[in-house]
Structure 1
Amino acid sequence: MDKFFTPPIKEVDKEGKALYAPYSLRKIEASLVTNGITDVAVIQPERLEKVVSDKTKVIGVSVHDPLGLDPVTFKLSLLFGGGKSWLEQFFEELGDVISRLKKRYNFKVIAGGPGAWELTKSRPDWLDVLFLGEAEIRLPEVVKSLLKGEPVPPIVKGKDPKAEQIPPILGPTRWGEVQVTRGCPRGCSFCSITPETFRSVPLETIKREVEVNLKGGIKNIDFITDDILLYGSSKLRVNHDALVKLFTEVKRMGVDGIFWPHISAPAVRESPKTVQAIAEVAEYDFDRSVMPVVGLESGSLKILEKYMPAKAFPWTPREWGEVIIDATSIMNDNYVYPCYTMTIGYKEETDDDVQDSIDLVQKIIDHDFTAWIFPLPVIPIFTTRIKDNPFPVLDRLPSRYWDLLYVSWTYNMKTTRKLAPRLAGKGLTGKLVKFMIDRVFSSIEWFFRDLKESKGRKTLEFSTVNVNNTLGTIRAIVELSKLSFKKESS
C-alpha cells in the first residue's frame, strides 16, 4: 500500500518543505501566513520525524477519513466483513509518530478537515484541539493563542468566511487543485454542507491559484467544487456566461486540461448548452473525458421528499427519474461519464423503496449509458441533520440492498471494460490497471451474486483476513487470485 497504491509525495523545496501538497493544507498555510503567522511548513507525514524539533510549537493535521467512516470506506469495509480500513490504519500509525514526538518536544496538536467529525466519536489522547468547520477566520486565532500558551477549548467550531476573506494558496497543489466554489445550496439532510454556506470564488483569485500551479510545473487543473455548474449561480440557477468565462480564461493561461470532481443532474438538465460549451472549451474527448461524482441518491419518492426535497430543483422529486435519464444523456454526449452515488439505509427505508431505486438504475442500464452506480450506506455524519440516525450494519440494511448492489456492480463492470483504454493509461501502472480490468473486473460477478443470494452474509467470510501481517497479505492475494481466475476454472 505504501509503495504502490499510496506513494508519498517525495518532492521538497530547498527548505525541505513539501513541493506539492493537498489543497486543504495549502489553504491552511495561506490563512496562517495572511494573518501574520509566517513560520509555517507544510510537511509530508513521512518526514515529520526529520523536521520536528524543540522549535516546533504546533502541529496541524488535516484529516479526510481518519476512522474509516466515510460512506465509500464504510461500504467497502462492510462488503469484506468489517474490521479496520487502511485509512484507519494509516491514521493510527501517524498518531503513534505524533504521540512519540509530542512526549519529546511538548508541542500542541490541532486536527481539522472534512473528516474531523469522526474524531468526536474516538478522540486520540495526543490531540489538544479538534477544529470543526471552515478554518480561515478562527484557526489563526486559535494558533496564536496556542503560541502564547493561552488556554483553548478542546473543540473549536469554525466560522464561514465570505468569498473575499478566503486567501489564495501560496504553493502548488497535488493534481493542480484550485477551488472555484465552496458549499452547496441544495441542503440534503445526509450532507454536512448547509445551504447557507454556498460561495463562488472570485475569478481573479482562481486565476492566481492557477498561476501558482503553472509555475510549479502543473499543466492540468482540477477545479474543486461541489457542483461545477453552480459557479457564479444565484438561487440554484445555472449562470452560463460565468461558467464559459471561467473555463475560457483559465484555458487561455496555458492550461492543458481542466477537470472537476462534482456536478448535479438537475443543473445539467437545466442548461445542456452550458455543458456543451465548457466541454468544447476544455476540449473533452474519449481520452480526455471527465468522470465526476453525481448524486443519484434514491429512486424512492418517499426518501427524496423527506431527506432531499431540493435535490431535483428546478424540478420536483416526482420528476427525479426523468431528470437523471435526461442529464445522463447530455453528459455522455459531451464526454462526461458520471459516477452515480446512492444513499441507502435510512431508518424508515423499506424493500419497496429500494425496489424503486433498482427500477431507476435499470432505466439507466436500459439506455446503455456510460456511467457507474455505487449504492452506499447512508452515514449519520456528526454535522448533518441525520446525525442521530443509527449507523448502517448488515442486519439493518433493507434486504433488497444486495439486489441493488448486484445490478449496479454488474453494470459497473461493463462500463469499466468499455472505458478500459481511458482508465488504464500508459506505462507499468497502465498495464497493471488493464490486467486488473481484464482479470478481476471481468470475473468478479460471482462475488456480488453470492452477496445477493446470501443477503450480505457472504461478507462474513472475509472478516478474519488481516492484511496487516505477512500471512494475512498472502491470504488476501490468494483470495484476489480466486476472484481473478474463478470464472476460467469453473
Structure 2
Amino acid sequence: MGSPKIVLTASASEASEWRHSIWQQMLSATIPAKHAHKWRNPELLINESWPDGRAKYVPNGLRMVETLLLREYSEDDVVVCYLENLEKFIGPETKVVAIHAHNPLGISYATDVYSKIAGKNLIPVNAAEFLKIVKHPVIEKYRPKIVIGGPGAWQLERAERLDEFNVDYLIDGEIEKVFSDLFKRMMEGDPTLERIIKLPKSTQPTVEEIPVVKHRSTFGVVEITRGCGRGCQFCGPATKVGRSFPLEHIMESARVNAREGATEIMLATEDMFLYEQEANFETNIPALETMLRNVKKVPGIETLQMSHITMAPVVKDPSIIERLTPLIVPFSHVQHKESTDADHRMTDPIIGLETGSSRLFDIFMKGKAYPYKAHQWRDVVLKGMETLNKHNWFPFCTFIIGLPGETDADTKESLNLLYDLRDAKGTFVPTFFVPLEDTRMQKKESAKLIEMTDLQWEFFYTCWKYNLHFWKGSASTMKFSLGVPLYYYMLGRKLFGNGIKYPLYRFAGVPDRFMRKHLYLDFTGFKRSKDTMHAPVDEILPGFKSVREKGLNMIDATQLHHIGSSVSAAAGEAIQAAS
C-alpha cells in the first residue's frame, strides 16, 4: 500500500497527557530544550500510538482537521501520528503534511519567559519539537506541502520565518465553515490562494457547523462552548460571542473519547459559566447540572477536568459553586491534603486574574468583572476565592506582568492583592505580556525580561514561593537555599541585573526580616493558615445592570441572532477575499 495523501502531526509536549494535568503540561513545555534531559520527567514526551503507528491522542484542533478531511477522504488517505512515526507514513504519494502549532517559536505568554531565565538564546521544549518536525529528513526528502495551523501559527508570520521552514500555507482562524473549499484549493495548488490565510469573524461557524471529532483528543477534550464575549483586549476569544454546543454534541464527543480509551473528559471552554448562558451573562445552573450529570454517565469515564472559569459569577451567585461541587470535585483526579473532601479531592480550573491594578483593569479588561466595576476587582477576587476554597475549588490563577503602560503604582496594587491572597488555596502563575494575534492589542510591544522592574521581579518570585508552599510545604524552600544564591551570582545578575536578588532570596526561604529594606511586601512573622481564607467584605453590590451599558464592549449570547443573520452571507465573500 502506498503512503497516505495527508499526514497530520503535533509536537509531543502538545499531545502529552502527562499526569492528566493541562497546566503541568504547559509548564513542562517551558523548560529550555537544552536542559530538558535534566529538568523534566522523561515520561512527559512519551505518548501512546496504536499498533499501526497512528497517534492515540492529539490536540483537539488537530482532531477537528482530521474530522473535516474524513468528509472528503478515507481513513487510508488521512493519518495522524507523532514525530517518531513520520518516516513510517510520509512517502512519495503524500501531498500535504499539516502541523498543529500551539507555540512553534516559544514566544507565548509563559514559555518565552521561563526558558530565558536559564540563559540567553534558549528555546523551550515545544519550540524545539516544532523545529524537529518541519526539518524532519523525510519531509525534506519528499517535499509535501506544509500547512501550519493552530493557536500559535501567527508566531511564524510575525517572525517572517515561513520561507525558512518551507511553509506553503498558514491558516489563522476558525476553519469549519470554509475548510472544504480551502483545502481543495491547497491540494490543487491554486495560484490565486494566498499563502497566509486569515479567516475573519464573518467565517465564524455556528455550533451546528462544527462536527463531532472522529477520534480521541488529548485529555479527552470535549468542547462545551466557543468564544467568550467579555471583551478583554489581550484575548482573541474574548471578542467573539460565546456559543454553547448542544448537549447531544457534547455527549457524542465524550463517547468518542471513551471508546478509544479516555478515562477522563476535559470540558473545554473559555468560561464554563457561559454554557447555555442567559441574557447579561447570567449563569444557567440547571443546564450545567444536566450536562455534568450526563457526561459522568458515559461508560468508561471515571474523572472530569475543568478548563476555565471567571471569578465574577462566583461572587454574584455563590450557589453556582454550591450546586456544582458535588458534580465536579468528587470526580476530579487531583488531590490535595488541604481539601476537606472525604478523599481530599479538589478541582483546579484556570482563572485569569491578570492584575491587581484597578487602572489597568479598567483599560484592558473591564468586562471580566461584570457585573462589577474595575475598582471592585480586588474585592471580587478575594470574595470569589473564599467561596471557591470553601468548596475545594483551588484554582490555577494567571497574572500578566508588563501590560502596556504599567507603572510601579500598578505593580504595587498587584503585590497588595497577592498579599491579600497569602492564605488562599490555589496556584498563582505570573506570565509576561505578549501581543497575541487577532486581539485588540496585537500591535503593542511585548514585555521584556531585561526591562523588568524590582517590583515586578518581587511579584514574580513571590507567586512561585506561594506555589511551592501550597504544593510542597514551607520546608520545601530549604533545597533552594544554596542553589539560588549560586544561580544569582553565576547567571541571574548577569542576565537581569541586581533587581532579581532579593525576590530570589525570598523564594529560597531567606527570612523577610533580613530584606525588608529591599522589598515592598513584608512577610515577617507570617505563617500560612490551612483554614479557609476570609475576604474583607461580605457583600459586593454590582456596579452594572446590563452588558449594553456605555464602555463595556461586551457581547452576550442573546446577540447571536444578530450575528448569525450576517455570517452566512459574509462567509462566501471572505473565502474570495483569501484569493
Common topology (TM > 0.5)? yes
User: Compared with structure 1, are the counterparts of its residues 27 and 362 closer, same or farther at alpha carbon in structure 2 (3 Å cutoff)?
Assistant: same
Match of 2:371 among 287, 305, 314: 314
Paired positions, count: 442
Structure 1 equivalent of residue 198 of structure 2 = 157
Counterpart-to-counterpart distance in 1, 2:210 and 2:494? 48
Cα deviation, residue 221, structure 1: 0.9
Cα deviation, residue 147, structure 1: 2.1
Match of 1:93 among 132, 142, 154: 132
Match of 1:27 among 58, 64, 78: 64
Per-residue CA deviation, residues 343-382 of structure 1 (Å, 9 max, x unaligned), is 12123111110000000111111xx121121221111112
Which has the larger displacement, 44-53 or 271-280? 271-280
Which has the larger displacement, 20-29 or 48-57? 20-29
SS for the counterpart of 1:360 is: helix
Q: Which runs of 4+ in 1 moved over 4 A?
A: 35-38, 445-454, 458-461, 483-487
Counterpart-to-counterpart distance in 1, 2:230 and 2:478? 37
Q: Is the CA contact 1:8–1:46 (under 8 Å) kept in the aligned structure 2?
A: no
Cα deviation, residue 450, structure 1: 9.6
Structure 2 equivalent of residue 281 of structure 1 = 327
Match of 2:290 among 245, 256, 269: 245
Structure 2 equivalent of residue 110 of structure 1 = 147
SS for the counterpart of 1:190 is: coil
Cα deviation, residue 156, structure 1: 0.6
Q: Is the CA contact 2:223–2:250 (under 8 Å) kept in the aligned structure 1?
A: yes
Cα deviation, residue 77, structure 1: 2.4
Counterpart-to-counterpart distance in 2, 1:415 and 1:114? 31
Q: Is the CA contact 2:215–2:257 (under 8 Å) kept in the aligned structure 1?
A: yes
Structure 1 equivalent of residue 309 of structure 2 = 263
User: Compared with structure 1, are the counterparts of its residues 446 and 118 closer, same or farther at alpha carbon in structure 2 (3 Å cutoff)?
Assistant: farther
Counterpart-to-counterpart distance in 2, 1:449 and 1:5? 30
- Residues 56-455 of structure 1 aligned to structure 2 (within 5 Å): 56-83=94-121, 84-97=123-136, 100-122=137-159, 123-125=161-163, 126-151=166-191, 152-158=193-199, 159-234=203-278, 235-254=280-299, 255-284=301-330, 285=341, 287-365=344-422, 368-417=423-472, 442-444=478-480
Counterpart-to-counterpart distance in 2, 1:134 and 1:27? 11
SS for the counterpart of 2:286 is: helix
Percent of counterpart pairs with the same letter? 28
Letter of the 2:346 partner, please give it: S
Counterpart-to-counterpart distance in 2, 1:341 and 1:448? 24
Per-residue CA deviation, residues 287-346 of structure 1 (Å, 9 max, x unaligned), is 432222211111111100111111100111111011111111111122211111111212
Per-residue CA deviation, residues 439-465 of structure 1 (Å, 9 max, x unaligned), is 6x55337777999999x736459xxxx
Per-residue CA deviation, residues 16-43 of structure 1 (Å, 9 max, x unaligned), is 3222222121111112223567632111
User: Compared with structure 1, are the counterparts of its residues 82 and 193 closer, same or farther at alpha carbon in structure 2 (3 Å cutoff)?
Assistant: farther
Counterpart-to-counterpart distance in 2, 1:264 and 1:458? 39
Match of 1:18 among 46, 55, 60: 55
Counterpart-to-counterpart distance in 2, 1:447 and 1:384? 40
Cα deviation, residue 48, structure 1: 0.7
Structure 1 equivalent of residue 503 of structure 2 = none
Larger relative contact order, structure 1 or 2 (CA cutoff 8 Å, min sep 6): 2
Cα deviation, residue 281, structure 1: 1.6
User: Compared with structure 1, are the counterparts of its residues 198 and 443 closer, same or farther at alpha carbon in structure 2 (3 Å cutoff)?
Assistant: same
Counterpart-to-counterpart distance in 2, 1:115 and 1:447? 34
Cα deviation, residue 246, structure 1: 0.7
Letter of the 1:161 partner, please give it: P
The reply on whether 1:4 has 2:42 as its aligned counterpart is: yes
Which segments of 5 or more consecutive residues in structure 2 lack a partner in the other structure? 1-35, 331-340, 498-506, 512-579
Which has the larger displacement, 123-132 or 396-405? 396-405
Which segments of 5 or more consecutive residues in structure 1 lack a partner in the other structure? 419-436, 462-482
SS for the counterpart of 2:431 is: strand
Counterpart-to-counterpart distance in 1, 2:181 and 2:189? 12
Counterpart-to-counterpart distance in 2, 1:134 and 1:166? 10
Cα deviation, residue 106, structure 1: 3.3
Q: Is the CA contact 2:242–2:274 (under 8 Å) kept in the aligned structure 1?
A: no
CA RMSD of aligned residues (A): 2.9
Counterpart-to-counterpart distance in 1, 2:453 and 2:258? 49
Structure 2 equivalent of residue 471 of structure 1 = none
Letter of the 1:275 partner, please give it: I
SS for the counterpart of 1:294 is: strand
Letter of the 2:197 partner, please give it: V
Per-residue CA deviation, residues 416-450 of structure 1 (Å, 9 max, x unaligned), is 125xxxxxxxxxxxxxxxxxx976x5533777799
Cα deviation, residue 13, structure 1: 5.0
User: Compared with structure 1, are the counterparts of its residues 137 and 36 closer, same or farther at alpha carbon in structure 2 (3 Å cutoff)?
Assistant: farther
Counterpart-to-counterpart distance in 2, 1:447 and 1:276? 44
Q: Is the CA contact 1:176–1:218 (under 8 Å) kept in the aligned structure 2?
A: yes
Cα deviation, residue 406, structure 1: 2.9
Counterpart-to-counterpart distance in 1, 2:92 and 2:293? 49
Q: Is the CA contact 1:81–1:460 (under 8 Å) kept in the aligned structure 2?
A: no
Structure 2 equivalent of residue 479 of structure 1 = none
The reply on whether 1:44 has 2:101 as its aligned counterpart is: no
TM normalised by structure 1 equals 0.83
Structure 2 equivalent of residue 457 of structure 1 = 493
Cα deviation, residue 130, structure 1: 0.6
Structure 2 equivalent of residue 468 of structure 1 = none
Q: Is the CA contact 1:34–1:167 (under 8 Å) kept in the aligned structure 2?
A: no
Cα deviation, residue 268, structure 1: 1.9
SS for the counterpart of 1:310 is: helix
Cα deviation, residue 49, structure 1: 1.2
Counterpart-to-counterpart distance in 2, 1:300 and 1:52? 52
Counterpart-to-counterpart distance in 2, 1:280 and 1:387? 41
Counterpart-to-counterpart distance in 2, 1:403 and 1:453? 18
Q: Is the CA contact 2:450–2:495 (under 8 Å) kept in the aligned structure 1?
A: no
